[in-house]
Amino acid sequence: MKRLNILVGALSIPLFVVAWEVIARSGIVNAVLFPPPSVVAVAVLEWVRSGQFFLDLGASLYRVVTGFVVGAALGIALGVLTGQFALVSSLLSPLFHILRPIPPIAFVPIVILWFGLSETGKLFLVVWGVFFTVWLSTHIGVQKVDRGLIRAAQMLGTPRRQMLQEIVLLGALPYIVVGLRTAISISFYTLVAAELAGAFAGIVYRIEIAQQNLQTGQVMGGLAALGLMSFVADRLFAAVAERTVWWR
């Protein structure tokens, strides 16, 4: 039974691809709008061979990685402050709670007004999306740090700074890691919005251009590339997270 499950699991994607190829070639559907996988593969190969793929990948990766790092750093720093200091929380939390539920994509129009089609605007969107998720999980994590650990650390003469940097931060780390993982998928959503709003390179930008030229194979290749990127990022993070919370 278990072996059967594994076998069927291994066949899942190949079966899907073969069915797709057969249906697309059968003439039941419009092959221009719904090209077979072989055509998609050729389009992707051409994309890679022209070198354009690497420029697009680089542009998208740069936006996602930079935006994620900046947003996460800000989220963790402010989350520790609002989680630890009631006064800072009173000042900032109401504001953050009002801004947080607005879908980051809704900021595209105003970001274009503010930053035009520059890289800054795209980074802003990704940072914005990542920040609130990481801030909230850090804030909650800091508040949930075991009071007993803090008291024990106080009794051992831990200075305030060390308390924040070590006890509070590591105590909250399991929560922060969960927030960071959610933020990875958010950074890809916001990347899509940022590149659709207008760009000069990028995976999503390439998808949009291909769509305008009715190169459906290229569109699908772009989608696959985006899915793969997001998948790899999530797996990579899961592997890192396992090591980050090493005491579990």
Residues forming the site for other proteins (CB under 8 A): 146, 148-149, 151-159, 162, 167, 170, 173, 246-248
Q: How far is the CB of 137 from other proteins (least distance, A)?
A: 18
Q: Strand, coil or helix: what is 156?
A: coil
Distance of alpha carbon 85 from alpha carbon 160, whole angstroms: 12
Could you give the CA distance from residue 174 to residue 68 in angstroms, rounded to a whole number? Answer: 18
Nearest distance from C-beta of residue 75 to other proteins, angstroms: 21
- 118/154 with CB nearer other proteins: 154
Pick the closer one to other proteins by CB: 72 or 169.
169
Residue number with CB closer to other proteins (101 or 246): 246
Q: How far is CA 63 from CA 66, 97, 171, 178, in A?
A: 5, 26, 30, 22
| Token pair of 65 as six digits | 């990685």
Q: How far is the CB of 148 from other proteins (least distance, A)?
A: 4
Evaluate whether 147 touches 233 at the Cβ level (below 8 Å). no
Please choose, from the candidates 116, 133, 237, the residue with its C-alpha nearest in 3D space to the C-alpha of residue 190: 133
* Rounded least distance, CB 169 to other proteins, Å: 10
Nearer to other proteins by C-beta: 158 or 182?
158
